[in-house]
Structure 1
Amino acid sequence: MKPKAVIYDIGNVLIEWQPERYYDSQIGADRRRTLFAAVDLHAMNERIDAGGLFRDTVYDTAAQHPEWAREIRWWYDRWIKLAAPRIEQSITLLRRLRAKGTPVFALTNFGDDAFAYAQTQYEFLNEFDRLYVSGRMQVTKPAPEIYVMVEEDCGLPPASLLFTDDRAENIAAAAMRGWQTHHFTGPKAWARRLITAGLLTEEEATP
């Protein structure tokens, strides 16, 4: 079936999300490894994705670890430097899909207020036809409920949805619902998948 809508993850699909890289640039890889071993910053971020307030969650964690407080607060204070750079070819493909009339949705593990801030920094985050943000939905991928919520809201059959995500477990959960899927490893392979799906021509998929 030719997809009737394309669903994008955001982190590492449209925006690079490699917090360790930023911390390495600021405090060095050895000290960063010590920090990440002492404080589970990714678990902190998962609480934000599940609905926790962005600033409060980060600052509360910093208060619990005073020896790392300054560095932990960077997760909020310097977030835009952690969530960078843009993946331009993926953004171009998104826009070309929409220009052809293909609905494009976002399904992302992202804090509610963090996403609202990201929309002020990345204009393309305002270009989706539908937004499914875990912090607003109070459930994160790969929980089956989030995929059901998308289906019920958009009203499209699962088999008509084409979803790309960089995390294999999120792709597997969507496939279990009957969605068409693509494990994102880079924009070139994604462009090829869109051509194969009949959504873009070779010319349209070329940067």
Structure 2
Amino acid sequence: MTVQAIVFDIGNVLIEWQPERFFDRVIGAERSAEFFAAIQLHEMNDRVDAGEVFHDVIAETIAQNPDWADELTLWRDRWIEMASPVIDHSVRLLRALRRAGHPVYALSNFGNETFAIAEPEYPFLEEFDKRYISGALQIIKPAAAIYEHVENDSGIAPGGLLFVDDRHDNIAAADARGWKTHLFEGPTGWAERLVQEGLLTPEAAQ
């Protein structure tokens, strides 16, 4: 089936998301390792991505873990530094697809408040034809319901959707529904896939 829309994950596809790297740099690798071992930070982040209020989740986690209040405050106040830098080649591919007339969607696990923080920093986040953000939908990947929502809202059958994501579980869930998929391991491979699919010329994919 011909690709009718290209669906981008955001974190680690368009913007690097490496909280451990941020904390290694700011508080040192040893303290950072202790922090990530002591606090279920990725689970905390999943709650935000599922629609809970960012500041409320952080405040609750601080109350439960007062010894880590300084580090959790850094997570709250300097969140944008963890969601950086931009993966420039991926953004060029997004824009090249749109110039070529292909609908481009976002399907991302992202909190409502954190997405609002990111939008002014990364103007390309406003360039999608449709955005499916987990915080707004209150469903996170890889739950089947979020993929079903994309299908129903877009009116595109699964085989007409090409989805790029950096996580194996998210790709597997899309595969199970019959989507075309690409596991993101860098923008060069993604560019090659877009050329193979006939969506971009080699020149446009640079």
Query: Which TM-score band applies after superposition, normalised by the shorter structure?
Result: over 0.9
Mapped partners of 1:117, 1:124: distance in 2? 14
Does the residue aligned with 2:97 lie in a helix, a strand or coil?
helix
| 2:84 alignment partner in structure 1 | 84
Q: Which residue of 2 aligns with 1:173?
A: 173
- What is the aligned partner in structure 2 of residue 158 from structure 1? 158
1:108 aligns with 2:94: no
Structure 1 residue aligned with 2:204: 204
TM-score (structure 1 length as normaliser): 0.98
**Alignment match, 2:119:** 119
Q: Deviations over 1:142-199 (max 9, x none)?
A: 0101100010000011100000000001001001111000000000000000000000
Task: Give the TM-score of the pair, scaled to structure 2.
Answer: 0.98
Instruction: Describe how 1:5-20 pairs up with structure 2 within 5 A.
Output: 5-20=5-20
Contact 1:15 1:84 in 2 (8 A): yes
Give aligned pairs, total. Answer: 206
Which runs of no fewer than 5 residues in structure 2 stay unpaired? none
Task: Please name the residue that 1:143 is paired with.
Answer: 143
CA distance in 2, matches of 1:118, 1:54: 13
Counterpart residue number, 1:39: 39
CA RMSD of aligned residues (A): 0.7
**2:17–2:82 CA contact under 8 A, matched in 1:** yes
4+ long deviations beyond 3 Å: none
**Shift in Å, 1:23:** 0.1
Q: C-alpha displacement at 1:71, in angstroms?
A: 0.6
Between the two proteins, what is the percent identity of the paired residues?
Answer: 55
Specify the SS of the correspondent of 1:70.
helix
User: Aligned partners of 1:79 and 1:201: how far apart in 2?
Assistant: 37
CA positional deviation for 1:63: 2.1
Q: Distance in 2 between matches of 1:73 and 1:152?
A: 39
Farther-moved stretch of structure 1 (182-191 vs 69-78): 69-78
Q: Does 1:22 align with 2:30?
A: no
Q: In structure 2, what is the Cα distance between the partners aligned to 1:120 and 1:58?
A: 22
Alignment partners' CA distance in 2, 1:88 and 1:179: 26
Q: Could you report, residue by residue, the CA deviation over 1:77-124 in whole angstroms, capped at 9, with x for unpaired residues? A: 001101000000000000000011100000000101211221111101
Letter in 2 for 1:69: A
Q: Is this contact kept in 1: 2:80–2:117, CA < 8 A?
A: no
Q: Say whether residues 1:73 and 2:73 are aligned partners.
A: yes
- What CA distance in whole angstroms lies between the structure 2 residues aligned with 1:160 and 1:127? 21
Quote how far apart the aligned CAs of 1:59 are: 2.1
SS at match of 2:20: helix
Q: C-alpha displacement at 1:40, in angstroms?
A: 0.8
Partner of 2:58: 58
Q: Which runs of 5+ in 1 are unaligned?
A: none
Q: SS in structure 2 opposite 1:105?
A: strand
Q: Is the 8 A contact 1:2 1:198 kept in 2?
A: no
Q: Displacement of 1:73 after TM fit?
A: 1.5
Contact 1:16 1:84 in 2 (8 A): yes
Q: Please give the secondary structure, in 2, of the residue aligned with 1:201.
A: coil
Give CA deviations for 1:54-83 in whole Å, capped at 9, x if unaligned: 111112211221111011121120011010
